[in-house]
Amino acid sequence: MYLLVIAGVALPRRSGGNGTLLWVMWILYTFSTVYVSKIVFVLIDMLASIPCILHRHRIKFLSAVGVVAAVATFASMWWGAFVNRYDVDVREVTVEIPGLPKAFDGYRIVQFSDFHVGTYGNDTTYVAKVVDCINGLDKDLVVFTGDIVNARTSELLPHVSPLSRLTAPDGVLSILGNHDYGDYSAWPDISAKEENIKQMHNLQNEKMRWRLLLNETATVHRGNDSIAIIGVENIGDPPFNIYGSLPKAYTATGDSVVKILLTHNPAHWVDSIADSPRHNIALSLSGHTHAMQMEVAGWSPAVFRYPTWGGLYSDKDGSHKLYVNIGIGTVGFPARIGATPEITIITLKCTK
């Protein structure tokens, strides 16, 4: 309880550095593993005590079940912190797109998202593992759909070297997520925040040799055929700030060009793309949800916040599709209980 008070009240979250943030994160998570397990036991043990109201013996079997459930909860939470959050899952998805040029039939896009590299401090082991995994995949293009840091661009500095090794025949395209703008930090003045985002642009474009799409479009060619990859800055639901502009990124979204949209928050697709005859955008790729870093038997509590929290979705007539990657990293708490870190291979196919 003392540690909880220190983490929740005394340690500065927005003004403190990344080291402080990591201390807060681990203290709160340690507290949670103890008290969530206790609550599980207490709730089950309360059921065991109900007969006592009728002056009968408590159901000892239920108390034993409560002990087992509490231990299992504690173990699964720490398994999620020490093992599962590093156990990368490579998922393959095929998406049929009407009007896809034949030269792009079988085109393979690797998507990863929500790395939050600050969670790993200066340890580049996991970041290097992810890069090696992606480099070993058969692919044409790599896309990153936002949230590369937790709060400040400086978190990215130790990881620039391994991330710069990421390669694909058609390069690496990226966009920014809500955590990448410095909105979760307290800055001494506006110029410091502006320098933070300027450094983010420089690290991705120059040092890592990715192409950061800031409300702009990249065109991928195969002979005389081409497709457009649209990258918007963050567009989401409250309380997240809106920096993106689809009209600025691509002025005529109703034209016949096959377009793939990179947009960090899937709420953008739900609100503006799905079922919209104005936008001829066959596929949108998002992240952001992390599946709340909890998933059991295909269900996640993220469903209460995002109807499109993970996997492939389609609107009513199937003309607009969305894939939500549940992320490769962690933020808030350093674990994944289920919701294994995801790298997605998306294969484009012409409709028959």
176 is written with which tokens?
A: 């920014």
pLDDT at 12 over 70: no
**137-139-144 Cα angle (round to 5):** 90
Looking at residue 332, its pLDDT comes to 87
Give the pLDDT mean for 284-311. 96
**pLDDT tens digit string along 18-54?**
888 888 889 889 999 999 999 999 999 999 888 888 8
Per-domain residue ranges of the chain: 2-82, 89-350
Contact 215, 152 (CB under 8 A): no
Name the nearest CA neighbour of 262 among 338, 211, 336, 307: 211
* φ/ψ bin of 119: left (φ > 0), alpha (ψ from -120 to 50), beta (otherwise): alpha
Q: CA-CA distance, 66 to 85, in Å (whole number)?
A: 27
Question: For the domain bounded by 89-350, which CATH number is listed?
Answer: 3.60.21
Mean pLDDT, the chain, integer: 94
Output the DSSP codes for 176-202. Answer: --GGGGSTTS--SSHHHHHHHHHHHHH
Phi, psi of 343, deg, nearest 5: -120, 130
Contact 230, 167 (CB under 8 A): no
**pLDDT tens digit string along 111-147?**
999 999 999 999 999 999 999 999 999 999 999 999 9
pLDDT at 10 over 70: no
pTM surpassing 0.85?
yes
pLDDT at 11 over 80: no
* Residue whose structure tokens are 């120059």: 206
